[in-house]
Amino acid sequence: MPSDAPIIAARGVSKMYELYSRPQDRLRQMLFPGGKPLYREHWALRDVSFEVGPGEAFGIIGKNGAGKSTLLQVLAGVLEPTAGEVVLPERTTALLELGSGFKPEFTGRQNVYVNAAVLGIPRATVSERLDDIAAFADIGAHFDQPVKTYSSGMFLRLAFAVTTSLEPDVLIIDEALAVGDVFFRQKCYKRLEGLLSHGTVVVLVSHAMNDVAQFCHRGLLLERGRVTYLGDAAAAVKRYMVGDGGYAPADLGDAVRGLDLPPEAQADDPWPVPEAFLDLSTVAAAENDWAGCTHVAVCDVSGQPCRSFEQGETISIFCRYAVHHDLEVAVAGVELINDKRVIVFGKNSLQFDSDHPTLTPAGSSLRVRFDVKLDLAPGEYTFNLGFSAMSHEDFERRASLSHQELESRNTVISILTRAGDFLVTFRSRDTTPVQLTHHGVANLPGQATLRLYGGDGSGTEEECLRRPKG
């Protein structure tokens, strides 16, 4: 990511709305501005400051009502802040809602020229890029039809094609990509990567947390109009997720007091030597006060410290959690991320079908070991660690719950982003059948069958397919 002067600079941005109980109070306030305020103040934004450099993808996240839309409207110039300022280049464009900025009676082609004129782009330049815009939108004959006849998907295709083909200095996107199908979204992200490489700033607001974590370089987390985190996008997403769920700790009383847990010092499970554990002082951790991660180690299957593995070897990741509140069923998970910020593998102890302690009392410690066979492409990887809790009742019926139901009943307690790293290399020993086990990010179970037949093949399907038509 370039480190040049910022393209966007927000300094102390605040936005206040006047909320009136009755419509007539608004009129009285206008007629007698010096009188007693008849409204209550609602601050949608409070002292928001950040900078975004050229070629940076910047994510803005937060729960509903956090102030995301208000901030985007301020950035887009739709709203004036009550206090503070935003510095942006002139060629800033936004996809805040489908069809915004389009003239309904104009055709798609005519709207391309209208949007370009707003950005100050000469008509001759637009004409040169018109074929590219039409090809990217891929709406066929509808390009010359009034946009009032378009579906939401056609709106999105044309709006995205126009704003990206005209190469703005800043592109602001608010959930728009969620409308397209998977093929169009892939095409959009490829186009956005191209814009970033040429220095365009992309500001993305989305409830698709994986999109923010994997596409954006940095993220801003808003809560009730205030910035609660500004930094690495994946870390921002993890902080957003902590504490969000349907489980709350409770005093389990006699149930946990009756447990006879052995002291950790007497533990007989395999555990790495002290020098194997990583320095966590600089690791981005998002945790509440229910539990915290204290130790992480990367080892080979024998438990020896190791950071380099050949394809197909098994990595063992050890971690320890100190539990501060009585919990019922504790769940631990791991994610492996490649150098393109793509999560290539993620699995928790429920999905591993592990044995789980059904009571996790305050003052106890939980040791976790993940063994993962690295059927991955050679390259550098990092890993995230997660810890959550759920009720014993939900745990017992976990197989009958949908993924969404199960996720909503789990409360995230601790997430470590980029807790450690490791390297996957080509195989140097057993290279059967060939050295590289597969192409692509991950290896999948399967098989290939080849069959050879004699004869002239005149009646085979293969021959029929090769014959010229007509």
Mean pLDDT of the chain: 86
pTM of the shown model: 0.74
pLDDT in tens, 135-157: 988 888 999 999 889 887 788 88
> Max alpha carbon distance in the chain (Å)?
100
CA distance 157 to 136: 8
For residue 69, what are its two tokens? 């839309």
Among the ranges given (30-34, 81-85, 134-138), the one the predictor scored with the smallest mean pLDDT: 30-34
pLDDT higher than threshold 50 for residue 325: yes
Domain boundaries, the chain: 8-238, 266-425
Higher pLDDT, 354 or 234: 354
CATH fold of 8-238 reads Rossmann fold (3.40.50)
pLDDT in tens, 292-308: 999 999 999 999 999 99
Among the ranges given (58-62, 239-243, 406-410), the one the predictor scored with the smallest mean pLDDT: 239-243
Residue partners of 215: CB distance under 8 A and separation at least 6:
57, 59, 189, 192, 204, 233, 341
Q: How far is CA 256 from the centre of its chain?
A: 37
pLDDT in tens, 39-51: 678 899 999 999 9
For residue 147, what are its two tokens? 């946009």
Region 103-110: what's the mean pLDDT?
Answer: 90
pLDDT in tens, 178-207: 556 677 778 888 889 999 999 999 999 888
CATH of 266-425 among 3.30.420.40, 3.40.50.300, 2.70.50.60, 3.20.20.70: 2.70.50.60
- Is residue 236 within 8 Å of residue 59, measured between CB atoms? yes
- Is residue 52 within 8 Å of residue 88, measured between CB atoms? no
Q: Cα dihedral angle (455, 461, 463, 467), rounded to 10 degrees?
A: 160
| Pairing label, strands 308-310, 411-425 | parallel
pLDDT higher than threshold 70 for residue 97: no
Instruction: Look at residue 426 in the predicted model and tell me its pLDDT.
Output: 95
CA distance 56 to 216: 8
